[in-house]
């Protein structure tokens, strides 16, 4: 899936943003958790920029020990970011911690049942499980349409997405 993704254009995130904003934009005031793209991932930043323009507070994840929930820190476009684990970028330690209500989730593969294949460290499954005990959370996977597979094997600890947005369509689960 990584090789397949490398052949695609991350700038298609602009098209993905339009699909999301047309159909399932978060409710007014919802805190939106995004991510800084790595390794050819579809770019979620156009969506994040549009949501910030609509007044949504944004946050980015900070990864701790493998398999633990992510910590989210407040983020504004233009803020200085520091190198994070796995080649991503994250807010510095002095940025305020905040929990998202609406989470944009990266993935390697997805199916139409809301299952996702991640990078294997368990961060997003642990994060979704924890946040869902604390609040009503909407989890939106973002990917290229070519990352869809008929069936992603899912175990007991795997957390399903509420929807997946691609450059081609929005899949509601």
Residue 171 corresponds to which tokens in the numbers above?
A: 């899949």
User: Using one digit for the tens of pLDDT, what is the confidence trace for 3-47?
Assistant: 887 778 888 999 999 999 999 999 999 999 999 999 889 999 999
Report the candidate in 85, 63, 62, 69 with the shortest Cα–Cα distance to residue 157. Answer: 69
Residue 106 C-alpha from the chain's centroid: 4
Which CATH number describes the domain made up of 2-172? 3.40.50.10420
pTM given for the model: 0.95
């Amino acid at each position: 899936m990584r090789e397949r993704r490398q052949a695609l254009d991350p700038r298609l995130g602009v098209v993905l943003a339009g699909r999301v904003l047309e159909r399932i934009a978060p409710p007014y005031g919802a805190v939106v958790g995004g991510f800084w793209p790595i390794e050819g991932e579809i770019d979620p930043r156009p969506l994040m920029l549009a949501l910030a323009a609509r007044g949504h507070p944004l946050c980015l994840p900070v990864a701790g020990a493998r398999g633990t929930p992510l910590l989210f820190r407040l983020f504004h476009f233009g803020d200085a970011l520091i190198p994070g684990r796995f080649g991503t970028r994250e807010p510095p330690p002095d940025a305020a911690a905040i929990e998202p209500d609406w989470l944009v989730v990266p993935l390697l593969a997805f199916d139409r049942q809301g299952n996702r294949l991640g990078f294997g460290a368990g961060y997003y499954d642990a994060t979704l499980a924890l946040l869902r005990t604390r609040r009503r959370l909407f989890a939106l996977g973002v990917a290229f349409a070519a990352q869809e597979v008929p069936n992603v094997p899912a175990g007991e600890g795997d957390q399903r997405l509420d929807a997946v947005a691609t450059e081609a369509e929005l899949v509601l689960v």
